[in-house]
Structure 1
Amino acid sequence: MRTGAAAAHTGYFHEAIRYDSDEHLLAVVLPFLLGGAEAGEPTLVAFGERNAALVRAELPAGAPVTFLTGGQIYARPAGAIRSYRRLLAEHAAAGAGQIRIVGELAPDTFGPTWDWWARYESAVNHAYDEFPLWSMCAYDERITPAAVLDDVDRTHPRTARPGDRHEPNASYREPEDFLLAGRPAPADPIQLARPAVDLLGPSPARARDTIRAAGEDHLSAREIDDLVLAVSEIVTNAHLYGREPIHVRAWTGAGRMVVTVADRGDGPKDAFAGLLPAASDASAGLGLWIAHQVCSHVSLHREPDGFTARLTVGPL
């Protein structure tokens, strides 16, 4: 049975917390957690060290609240979705009528990798909707960039506020609209230099061999293997589902490598490609899902003249 603000809701009840002080955060989080504990619902916290300690200090001794290690969960968006779906399925199978989770992303996700975390925040509205989940995602307005907060409002249907207020976000967009919209490519200074690799119309085999050779002096053997796998998958997708010409470029730096694969097609029609496993092995989404598992960052860009996937391995 659902309780609290989600009592009449079916599926995922997804909220943001935009707070400007520790007191503000606690005023929302503590009633949420204590309400779940009182109702006998699985109640979990996936905060970083500072905010986890803040919440622990205010909870009554012995409160049945589970603290997860947020840094491990939020390593990559696709991995976070996979881990949470497994966790939610276990609780649902055990008979949970509602599951409560409050979490936060680390501040370093607000930089050059924010685009795929924004996609994550949108995609989970679909990915978790089969579960009786009520979750809150906390964002500290004192340190979160304005552009990130704009995306928070666009990806969360509502915002939780002190006093048990749960307000709809007027700028919220359904996942299919948000994920398929064109977004500017986040800048990467490495791309200001001349590319180390510039291939027009390569076969997957030629792309693999060239990227492997270019990365040997910059990446570990494991990183090269991961990047070559991802590039091979994306180039194959471009040949199967995109439109020529297919253009592969790569830039190298100290311990990192950036590869772009561009074609004149529209990109995958599946809004959740990369973040959720493909429904079939014979789909463009499988290659993007693999890339999201092994790369340090994947960004997708739709423009009037084509689609580009950018793969990064190494420090960001």
Structure 2
Amino acid sequence: MTGFFHETALYGSDDDFLAIAVPFVEGGLRAGQPTLIACAAKNSTLLRGALGEDNAVIYLPGADQYARPADAIASYREIFGGHAKAGATQIRTIGDVPHPGFGVPWDWWGRYENAVNQAFAEFPLWGLCPYDTRITSPEVLADVARTHEYVATASGEHLPNPDFCNGQPLSTPVPDVLEQAAPRVSLINPTPAAVREAVGAAIAGTLLTEDNAHDVVYAASEIVTNGLSHGVAPVRFRLWADDSRVVVTVTDQGSGPVDPLAGLVPTAASRSAGLGLWILHRTCDYVSMGRDEDGFTVRVSVGGH
């Protein structure tokens, strides 16, 4: 195969997971293909027990590999590029993409599942993304269906996915719980300098680390600059905070970037967010982007860990 063969699998039991994953891994090993596993601890343990200690299997710590979507894309591109340069004609990977069932927000991982259809397209890669229906919400499963061109089944089939619609909008991001309170800062069409000053004053009494405080100020300035440069006025900035965590949002009346890679790779396309938004995705704890009845909103969360 050439290009990215992007497949999902839905399972409702450990036995079904193994029925899908073990033949996938063993097929790669028999063919001499680099085969990577980046699953959560439970599924990695299941696979180790079923496969034995085969030294040809490459295990990547799932929590590290999927710390942030932009980091995962950068890491995977380096790994896949190395194997392709070494002559691999196909690479296999199976990984547990995080979602609320694992206790993390979904939006940027949904965008990750969409973006990798382009970000990994140059590699001879068969990527399998299994989802446990016991812990995965219907909203996440709907996005999974939209972003995977193929579906694997426990009976051994690999089928075209009729729900695949690469590049189409995903589910609307969910507001942060801190947004239930009144914002500490609310500004309309502010300059980036005014935002930096207001944010610095608003977080002065929090317990954020110095690095986190710097990330908040940078993030606020960057997303306001992006809204003023590429959005449609009015541009509204808001900030919420508790003792250890800060959430900032910028909402404008535009449609947002059309490039699904925006923020997840360092693109400099004129109509999409460029290097600054990518830096946010690699330094902040969560970044969401999406449109609802209020407009297009970029949301950034820092701290609280």
Is 1:257 paired with 2:249?
Answer: no
- Which amino acid in structure 2 is aligned with residue 217 of structure 1? G
Could you tell me how far 1:107 is from its partner in structure 2?
Answer: 5.3
Who is 1:233 aligned against? 222
Decide whether the 8 Å contact of 2:4 with 2:117 is kept in 1: yes
Say which SS state the counterpart of residue 284 (structure 1) adopts: coil
Who is 2:18 aligned against? 26
Deviations 1:153-205 (A, max 9, x none): 11111111134301122211112x236xxx43303221121110111221111
Could you tell me how far 1:230 is from its partner in structure 2?
Answer: 1.5
The 5-angstrom pairing of residues 86-105 of structure 1 reads 86-105=78-97
Deviations 1:256-307 (A, max 9, x none): 0111112222322323211111135996332321221121111112246632
Using the alignment, how far apart are the partners of 1:178 and 1:246 within structure 2? 22
Using the alignment, how far apart are the partners of 1:233 and 1:187 within structure 2? 20
Moved over 6 A (4+): none
Using the alignment, how far apart are the partners of 1:112 and 1:37 within structure 2? 32
Using the alignment, how far apart are the partners of 1:65 and 1:112 within structure 2? 27
- Which amino acid in structure 2 is aligned with residue 70 of structure 1? G
- Listed as ranges, the gaps of 5+ residues in structure 1 are 1-8
**Aligned match for 2:187, one of 193, 196, 199:** 199
Using the alignment, how far apart are the partners of 1:296 and 1:77 within structure 2? 11
CA 247–71 in structure 1, closer or farther in 2 if over 3 Å, else same = same
**Aligned match for 1:216, one of 186, 201, 204:** 204
Decide whether the 8 Å contact of 1:16 with 1:156 is kept in 2: yes
Using the alignment, how far apart are the partners of 1:86 and 1:133 within structure 2? 13
CA 108–117 in structure 1, closer or farther in 2 if over 3 Å, else same = same
The alignment-based identity, stated in percent, is 47
Could you tell me how far 1:254 is from its partner in structure 2?
Answer: 2.7
Who is 2:231 aligned against? 242
- Which amino acid in structure 2 is aligned with residue 260 of structure 1? T
**Aligned match for 1:178, one of 164, 169, 185:** 169
CA 72–284 in structure 1, closer or farther in 2 if over 3 Å, else same = same
With normalisation by structure 1, the TM-score equals: 0.90
Say which SS state the counterpart of residue 178 (structure 1) adopts: coil
- Which amino acid in structure 1 is aligned with residue 141 of structure 2? L
Using the alignment, how far apart are the partners of 1:305 and 1:150 within structure 2? 23
Decide whether the 8 Å contact of 1:46 with 1:70 is kept in 2: yes
Using the alignment, how far apart are the partners of 2:134 and 2:68 within structure 1? 24
Could you tell me how far 1:47 is from its partner in structure 2?
Answer: 1.1
Is 1:58 paired with 2:50?
Answer: yes
CA 289–96 in structure 1, closer or farther in 2 if over 3 Å, else same = same
Deviations 1:84-112 (A, max 9, x none): 11111111111111101111034546666
Using the alignment, how far apart are the partners of 2:134 and 2:269 within structure 1? 43
**Aligned match for 1:85, one of 72, 77, 96:** 77
Q: How many residues align?
A: 304
With normalisation by structure 2, the TM-score equals: 0.93
- Listed as ranges, the gaps of 5+ residues in structure 2 are none
Say which SS state the counterpart of residue 211 (structure 2) adopts: helix
CA 62–239 in structure 1, closer or farther in 2 if over 3 Å, else same = closer
CA 116–109 in structure 1, closer or farther in 2 if over 3 Å, else same = farther
Decide whether the 8 Å contact of 2:189 with 2:235 is kept in 1: yes
Using the alignment, how far apart are the partners of 2:227 and 2:209 within structure 1? 27
Could you tell me how far 1:217 is from its partner in structure 2?
Answer: 2.2
Q: CA RMSD for the aligned pairs?
A: 2.0
Deviations 1:17-75 (A, max 9, x none): 21111111111111111111111110111112211111111114435111110100111
